[in-house]
């Protein structure tokens, strides 16, 4: 698809150029995109002349640009509304393969490309919306992170690929609306990149930025390392927004069964999550039991060590008392040696006392840890009991849903059987009707024959009556 706007290098373009641009941008110029409720309508414009006039007009380019802005705004409304509704119905995180999300990015890309000034390079003219998006980090400091991430991606080689990656990261960050509002409010900076009548410079851009606030309710996750964003073709798929009455009527009959199947899948998924949680809790309980046994063993060892220390302390006290008594009774010469032994014994006693205090502190810590472990075990057991009760309730609901499904399947089979019986009865009635019609025809023919015979008999009787007279 070509550019969205006709070239604006000449101050007064001719009608031939306008005609060529209108023919190329058929979905933006030859048709007007409007909204009928929540569906898309394409109405052909009768007031655009695609035949060259002898004199150039000065109002057609502005009219085409205004029409393009209105079309893009309506497409953005439909795309954003459809994306939000489908994402909420889906109820999970969106990825890059989700079709409504892909169409949203295509529409946003067209909105950002509208009215871009062409930059002349060695390869020709180039239009890229990466330049305006780079300005956002100067206006909102939080955008510097995604800009740096885009620049660091190894697979992106073109500015348009970087712009597409920037849009995806901003949506993941749930700040796309904030960034677009900050960018639109700085029209003096945008004038370097856009024409005066571009979408980003007019009121439609502010409206689209306001609509983007609704996308903050969507959770999206993209893996852009292996995705080729440089060579993607951005074409809007109108079939996603065109109303199809037959499909909508046909899908109403399967609504209840679809809802029941969705509930069944949800309950099964919740059941799997609960089983995984119970397994994790059981593993934690086993680990706590192992640590509890280990702590009890360490506590027993510490108690034995305390007993031995107490025995050594008693022995040291007895030795010190014996040494004191011997010092009182013995000569003065031996008092110096006994005093040294006493000081060593006191030192040893102090060390043993300090060691005992340390062991007692460690024992208190181990006891408190054991109490905490026991409390955690009780809480885990309570949690496991609650999870098991919830699991039983969910299994009961799953059984009810399965019974309802079987009942619906039985009703469906019985209805099919009734339809077959009615069709057979109808065929029999048709055969009897045909037989009765044939019988009626035979009776009519026999009646005609009897009438003919009666006439012949009357004529013969009339002939015989005069002869008899």
Average pLDDT in the chain:
77
Please report the pLDDT score of residue 438 as a whole number: 92
- Over residues 35-56, the mean pLDDT reads 45
The residue among 33, 58, 66, 34 whose CA lies nearest residue 202 is 66
How is residue 213 annotated by DSSP? Answer: G
* 3-class state of residue 49 by DSSP: coil
CATH code, domain with 199:
1.20.58.900
Confidence of residue 56 (pLDDT cuts 50, 70, 90): very low
Please report the pLDDT score of residue 424 as a whole number: 92
Q: Is the pLDDT of residue 333 over 70?
A: no
**Is 419 within a domain?**
no
Question: Where is the domain boundary, 199, 222, 244?
Answer: 244
Q: What residue has token string 């510490």?
A: 302
Q: Is the pLDDT of residue 244 over 50?
A: no
Q: Is the pLDDT of residue 216 over 80?
A: yes
Please report the pLDDT score of residue 440 as a whole number: 93
Is 228 found in the same domain as 312? no
Confidence of residue 14 (pLDDT cuts 50, 70, 90): very low
**Is 321 within a domain?**
yes
Please report the pLDDT score of residue 429 as a whole number: 92
Q: Is the pLDDT of residue 380 over 70?
A: yes
Confidence of residue 434 (pLDDT cuts 50, 70, 90): very high
Greater pLDDT, 351 or 49? 351
Q: Are 131 and 147 in contact (CB under 8 A)?
A: no
Question: Where is the domain boundary, 381, 408, 435?
Answer: 408
Q: Which helix (H) or strand (E) holds 7?
A: none
Q: Tens of pLDDT along 274-321?
A: 878 888 888 888 888 888 888 888 888 888 888 888 888 888 888 877
Is 229 found in the same domain as 169? yes
Q: Looking at the whole model, is its pTM more than 0.75?
A: no
Is 198 found in the same domain as 75? yes
Greater pLDDT, 128 or 53? 128
Q: Is the pLDDT of residue 39 over 60?
A: no
Is 283 found in the same domain as 232? no
Q: Are 78 and 40 in contact (CB under 8 A)?
A: yes
Among 110-119, 122-131, 192-201, where is mean pLDDT lowest? 122-131
Among 45-54, 116-125, 234-243, 313-322, where is mean pLDDT lowest? 45-54
Is 276 found in the same domain as 183? no
**Is 188 within a domain?**
yes
Q: How far lies 300's CA from each of 32, 50, 289, 356, in Å?
A: 87, 99, 17, 15
**Is 32 within a domain?**
no
Greater pLDDT, 53 or 260? 260
Largest CA distance in the chain: 201
Is 226 found in the same domain as 122? yes
Q: Are 118 and 127 in contact (CB under 8 A)?
A: yes
Please report the pLDDT score of residue 89 as a whole number: 85
The answer to whether the Cα torsion of 174, 232, 40, 183 is positive or negative is positive
Q: Is the pLDDT of residue 152 over 60?
A: yes
How is residue 3 annotated by DSSP? Answer: -
Greater pLDDT, 383 or 43? 383
Residues forming a β-bridge with 220: 94
Question: Where is the domain boundary, 354, 381, 408?
Answer: 408
Please report the pLDDT score of residue 32 as a whole number: 53
Q: Tens of pLDDT along 58-100?
A: 456 788 888 888 989 988 998 898 888 888 888 778 888 888 8
Is 339 found in the same domain as 232? no
Greater pLDDT, 397 or 273? 397
Is 198 found in the same domain as 80? yes
- Cα separation of 201 and 350, whole Å? 86
% pLDDT > 70, the chain: 76
What token pair was written down for 5? 């706007």
Please report the pLDDT score of residue 243 as a whole number: 52
Is 320 found in the same domain as 299? yes
Please report the pLDDT score of residue 327 as a whole number: 65
Question: What values do phi and psi take at 90, rounded to 5?
Answer: -70, -40
Residues forming a β-bridge with 125: 120
Q: Is the pLDDT of residue 436 over 90?
A: yes
Is 238 found in the same domain as 188? yes
User: Which residues constitute the domain of residue 340?
Assistant: 255-408
- Over residues 168-189, the mean pLDDT reads 90
Is 352 found in the same domain as 290? yes
CATH code, domain with 352:
1.10.287.1490
Is 168 found in the same domain as 311? no
């Amino acid at each position: 698809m070509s550019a969205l706007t006709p070239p604006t290098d000449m101050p007064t373009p001719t009608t031939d150029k306008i005609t060529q641009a209108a023919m190329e941008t058929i979905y933006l110029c030859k048709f007007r995109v409007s909204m009928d409720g929540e569906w898309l309508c394409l109405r052909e414009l009768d007031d655009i002349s695609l035949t060259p006039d002898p004199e150039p007009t000065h109002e057609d380019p502005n009219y085409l640009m205004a029409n393009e802005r209105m079309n893009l705004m309506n497409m953005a409304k439909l795309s954003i509304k459809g994306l939000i509704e489908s994402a909420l119905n889906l109820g999970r995180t969106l990825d890059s393969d989700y079709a409504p999300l892909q169409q949203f990015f295509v529409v946003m890309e067209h909105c950002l490309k509208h009215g871009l000034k062409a930059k002349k390079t060695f390869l020709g003219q180039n239009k890229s919306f990466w330049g305006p998006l780079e300005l956002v980090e100067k206006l909102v400091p939080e955008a510097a992170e995604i800009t740096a991430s885009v620049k660091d991606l190894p697979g992106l080689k073109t500015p348009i690929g970087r712009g597409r990656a920037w849009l995806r990261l901003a949506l993941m960050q749930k700040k796309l609306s904030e960034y677009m509002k900050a960018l639109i409010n700085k029209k003096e900076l945008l004038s370097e990149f856009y024409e005066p009548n571009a979408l980003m410079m007019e009121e439609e851009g502010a409206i689209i930025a306001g609509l983007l606030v609704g996308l903050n309710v969507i959770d999206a996750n993209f893996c852009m390392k292996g995705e080729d964003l440089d060579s993607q073709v951005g074409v809007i798929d109108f079939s996603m927004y065109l109303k199809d009455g037959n499909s909508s009527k046909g899908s109403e009959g399967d609504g209840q069964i679809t809802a029941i199947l969705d509930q069944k899948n949800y309950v099964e998924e919740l059941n799997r999550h609960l089983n995984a949680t119970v397994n994790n809790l059981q593993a934690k309980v086993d680990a706590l039991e192992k640590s509890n046994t280990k702590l009890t063993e360490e506590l027993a060892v510490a108690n034995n060590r305390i007993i031995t220390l107490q025995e050594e302390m008693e022995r040291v006290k007895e030795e010190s008392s014996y040494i004191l008594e011997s010092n009182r009774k013995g000569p003065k010469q031996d008092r110096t040696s006994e005093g040294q032994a006493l000081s060593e014994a006191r030192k040893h006693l102090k060390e043993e006392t300090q060691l005992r205090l340390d062991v007692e502190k460690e024992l208190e810590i181990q006891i408190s840890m054991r109490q905490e472990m026991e409390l955690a075990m009780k809480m885990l057991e309570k949690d496991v009991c609650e999870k098991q009760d919830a699991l039983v309730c969910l299994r009961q609901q799953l059984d009810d849903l399965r019974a309802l499904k079987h009942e619906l399947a039985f009703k469906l089979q019985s209805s099919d059987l009734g339809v077959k019986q009615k069709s057979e009865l109808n065929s029999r009635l048709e055969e009897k009707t045909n037989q009765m019609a044939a019988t009626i025809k035979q009776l009519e023919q026999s009646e005609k024959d009897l009438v003919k015979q009666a006439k012949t008999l009357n004529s013969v009787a009339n002939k015989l009556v005069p002869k008899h007279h």
